[in-house]
Amino acid sequence: MVAGTLLAFGIDFLMYGVFMADSMKEMEKFYASVMYPEGQRPSEAWFIVYELCRMLIIGMVVLQRPMKGLSSFVWGFAVSSLLTICMDFWWMMFFNDPNMSVGHVAMEAVMGGVIMGLCAWLMSMVYSKLST
């Protein structure tokens, strides 16, 4: 769980903090009136808690059986994509965000799915090494 959480945190930090920094800034403009002003936001380190929650859900599927190799990746991918689609569905129902589109949701679901698939794979490997 710890290994998966750290990997997810590292990849998300790179993805949203570096590679997608410009498009995130664009998105923030829409929410500027309700967001914390820059400099007053909680530390990004708090996202460890969010990642741990995701690992708990993935872990319930992957470690309960337990799975190995590609099947853990596939289930990590599937569960994460489903979770992303549900959350984005809720977001689109209530928020008037012009950046949210079916294409954006699909991209998030695939990217999040690949990251969680890798984390599930790592978790299953660490679990099988330590449980023997």
Partner 1 sequence: MSLKATSISVVGASVVSWGLAGLWHMVIIADMEHEAWAKFSAVLRPEDAMPSPFWWMIPLMVFYWAVSYFVSRGPGGVSAATGMRTAVIVAFVVNFMAEFSMHMFFNDMSMGMSAMSLGFELVSAAVGGSVLGLLYSKLNT
Binding site for partner 1 (CB under 8 A): 30-31, 33-37, 41-42, 46-47, 49-50, 53-54, 56-57, 60-61, 64-65, 79, 82-83, 85-87, 89-90, 93-97
To the nearest whole angstrom, how small is the minimum distance from the Cβ of residue 100 to partner 1? 11
Nearer to partner 1, 98 or 103 (CB): 98
d(CA 99, CA 26): 9
Looking at the chain, how many residues does it have? 132
Contact 84, 113 (CB under 8 A): yes
Tokens encoding 32? 């500027």
Contact 71, 77 (CB under 8 A): no
Contact 78, 113 (CB under 8 A): yes
To the nearest whole angstrom, how small is the minimum distance from the Cβ of residue 74 to partner 1? 14
Nearer to partner 1, 18 or 34 (CB): 34
Nearer to partner 1, 19 or 31 (CB): 31
